[in-house]
Each structure stands twice: as C-alpha cells, then as structure tokens.
Amino acid sequence: MLQELSNKYGEENVKKALTRLIETFVDDGEPSGWAVEEVEEAKDLGLTDASRPEMFTTRQETMIMCLRTYKKLKEEEK
C-alpha cells in the first residue's frame, strides 16, 4: 500500500505526510475500551509498561515484548 502511494504521489510526499501524522498523533495514555483488560494484564505480567497504548510500536519495542513473552512462557514450563 505504501509502495502504491509512493508511486502515485512520490516517496518524499508520502514520507512527509506520514511524519506529520505521527508527530501530530496524540496518545491520551488510555487504551481503547475493548483493550483495557488485556493491556492491564500485559502490564501486570511485565510484558509492557503500557505507556503509549494507542501509538505504533517500533520493531525494537515489538521484539522486546516478544522476548519478554517467550521468557515468561519458558519460566512457566519449569
């Protein structure tokens, strides 16, 4: 999809638009109602600090949460 937008509007224009979107996005710090229980559970388990529940995660944040989940599962196997 991003490739199609880049082809149509130019890569630099798409980058600028996405940057503006990310910079102007306001995360009120509260998860959506449907996710509250799971976000709190993930926080209680130490998988995330839940500090930006409505923001995108970076690859490194995603990897850290996956690794924490893996470690928790390995602990439970013992």
Per-residue pLDDT of 13-49, as tens digits, reads 888 888 887 777 666 778 888 989 999 999 999 999 8
CA within 13 Å, CB half, 56: 8
31, 39 Cβ separation under 8 angstroms: yes
Domain map (residue ranges) of the chain: 1-27, 31-78
Does the pLDDT value for residue 2 go beyond 90? no
Q: Look up residue 63 and give its amino acid.
A: M
Q: Rounded mean pLDDT of the chain?
A: 87
User: How far is Cα 7 from Cα 14, in angstroms, rounded to an integer?
Assistant: 10
Identify the band that residue 55 occupies on the pLDDT scale cut at 50, 70 and 90.
confident
